[in-house]
């Protein structure tokens, strides 16, 4: 029974080696000669004038979440389109309901002004 898992174990070991060996080789073989210029913060030739951990507007995150939501919608549409002949009318109606809910959510977000970038 356990011999069935041998290919999985080999795959995990090879994946770890492919990830760890190049990192270790780069760490061990790369030249390391730090100086003050190399270690200084660099921002387009100017000294940093602001903290790198500045706060972003909430709308940025809202747009990102909406992008992920509608991107996932497309991810559901492709497999559905492939098997549409096999699932027939019930599958078609289920996707119409799914798309209807997403359109209602999109209209709601649009009316609330979540898609306006100021």
- In the chain (118 residues long), the average pLDDT of successive 10-residue segments reads 88 97 94 80 64 72 81 85 91 92 86 76
15 φ/ψ angles, rounded to the nearest 5 degrees: -65, -40
Q: Are 114 and 59 in contact (CB under 8 A)?
A: yes
Measuring CA to CA, which residue among 62, 58, 64 is closest to residue 109?
A: 62
pLDDT given at position 53: 73
In Å, what is the CA distance from 69 to each residue of 4, 74, 91, 118?
38, 9, 21, 22
pLDDT given at position 112: 81
Coil/strand/helix, residue 43? strand
Measuring CA to CA, which residue among 56, 60, 54 is closest to residue 116?
A: 60
């Amino acid at each position: 029974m356990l011999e069935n898992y041998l290919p999985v174990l080999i795959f995990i070991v090879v994946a770890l080696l492919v990830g760890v060996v190049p990192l270790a080789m780069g760490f061990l073989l790369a030249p390391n000669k730090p100086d003050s210029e190399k270690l200084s913060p660099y921002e387009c030739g100017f000294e940093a004038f602001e903290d790198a951990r500045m706060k972003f507007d909430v709308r940025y995150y809202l747009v990102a979440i909406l992008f992920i939501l509608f991107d996932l919608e497309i991810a559901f549409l492709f497999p559905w389109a492939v098997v549409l002949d096999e699932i027939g009318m019930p599958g078609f109606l289920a996707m119409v309901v799914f798309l209807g809910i997403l359109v209602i959510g999109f209209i709601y977000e649009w009316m609330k002004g979540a898609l306006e970038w100021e």
